[in-house]
Amino acid sequence: SATDSAAWSKLDDLLRRFPNDHLVIRAYATRQGICRLIDEKKISLETGIQIFDIERQRAVMERSMEEAQRNDKKPLPDSADPLG
């Protein structure tokens, strides 16, 4: 689908721009693995979406904590999502 293609394009772009960012790498690998499990009919699309959303929120919290440590524990704006 167009949405799926756009999501992969966004992740590909993030990986190109930030090849050493552990959160981008983890998101890419997670999505790749989830898609494979869906394609192999081992999990449903809904389950895959739920898992990816949980991992995305985990990445947002992890990035927020990293930024807070770098910025002397200053609170971050809501735009801390490393995946856009």
Q: Would you state the pLDDT for residue 75?
A: 57
pTM comes to 0.72
Q: Would you state the pLDDT for residue 74?
A: 57
Question: How many residues belong to the chain?
Answer: 84
Sequence-distant (6+) residues with CB within 8 A of 23 are: 59, 62, 63, 82, 83
> Which contiguous run of DSSP H or E holds residue 33?
helix 22-39
Q: Would you state the pLDDT for residue 8?
A: 83
Q: Would you state the pLDDT for residue 41?
A: 97
Q: What is the mean pLDDT of the chain?
A: 86
pLDDT for residue 70 is more than 90? no
pLDDT for residue 1 is more than 70? no
Compute the distance between CA of residue 24 and CA of residue 20 in angstroms, rounded to an integer.
Answer: 8
